[in-house]
């Protein structure tokens, strides 16, 4: 029987198991400094290009085709990740992240995804694209002493890596008792490989 329920979909770039392992080791002291944060699991760490939200199943083929079309027009590239920060800042942190250095090919890929998604009727993201990999979220405003401890620990994280981007992955976020689970729906290889 075909699925008739809406799917929560997003398009992302994966980091690869080796990088995820290095990142987990590098941020271990950060996790120890702020265990009360909602830390993402390794398999949840990626760079989101587009969050589609709740999507009716009949729209899935259009999203897959859009992803394939865009992927064929972009060649694989490298992006550099490193440096820990927070949105909006550490004093009022809601999201703790590892950053992604400015990369023109990533910016262009994101732009093409936004334009093509808008043509399919999805809303264009109103905020500037600030590529990052989410490490943790805060559930409530943190006390001042925890905020200072977190900011100090973030400065001490020594992590940097080059990630080869060769594909875009369409994921479905499935609500589960232990937190969201991400299921690959489609993989589009850059350069049409």
In total, how many domains does the chain have? Answer: 1
The continuous run of DSSP H or E covering 182 comes out as strand 181-189
Query: 23 in a domain, yes or no?
Result: yes
The per-residue pLDDT for 1 is 47
Query: 92 in a domain, yes or no?
Result: yes
Find tokens 């990999």 and name the residue: 133
The per-residue pLDDT for 2 is 57
Residue ranges in the chain modelled with pLDDT below 50: 1
Query: 44 in a domain, yes or no?
Result: yes
Query: 2 in a domain, yes or no?
Result: no
What is the C-alpha separation between 44 and 182, in angstroms, rounded? 7
Query: 83 in a domain, yes or no?
Result: yes
Q: Name residues whose C-beta falls within 8 Å of residue 79's C-beta, 6 or more positions apart in sequence.
A: 13, 47, 100, 101, 103, 106, 131, 162, 163, 165
What is the C-alpha separation between 93 and 134, in angstroms, rounded? 12
The CATH code of the domain that includes 186 is 3.90.1140.10
Find tokens 């859009």 and name the residue: 66
Domain region containing 12: 7-192
pTM of the predicted model as reported, rounded to 2 decimal places? 0.92
Query: 1 in a domain, yes or no?
Result: no
Query: 99 in a domain, yes or no?
Result: yes
């Amino acid at each position: 029987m075909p699925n008739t329920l809406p799917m929560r979909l997003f398009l992302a770039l994966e980091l690869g198991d080796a990088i995820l392992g290095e990142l987990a080791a590098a941020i271990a002291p950060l996790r120890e400094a702020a265990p009360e944060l909602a830390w993402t699991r390794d398999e949840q760490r990626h760079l989101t290009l587009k969050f589609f939200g709740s999507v009716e199943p009949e729209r899935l083929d259009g999203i897959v085709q859009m992803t394939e079309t865009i992927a064929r027009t972009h060649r694989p590239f490298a992006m550099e990740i490193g440096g820990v920060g927070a949105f909006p800042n550490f004093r009022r942190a809601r999201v703790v992240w590892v950053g992604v250095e400015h990369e023109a090919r990533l910016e262009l890929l994101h732009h093409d995804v936004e334009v093509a998604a808008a043509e399919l009727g999805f809303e264009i993201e109103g905020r500037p694209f600030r590529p990052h990999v989410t490490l943790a979220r805060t559930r409530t405003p943190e006390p001042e002493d925890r905020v200072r401890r977190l900011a100090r620990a973030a400065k001490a994280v020594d992590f940097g890596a080059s990630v080869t981007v060769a594909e875009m992955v369409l994921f479905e976020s499935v609500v589960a008792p232990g937190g969201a689970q991400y299921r690959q729906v489609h993989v589009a290889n850059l350069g049409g490989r």
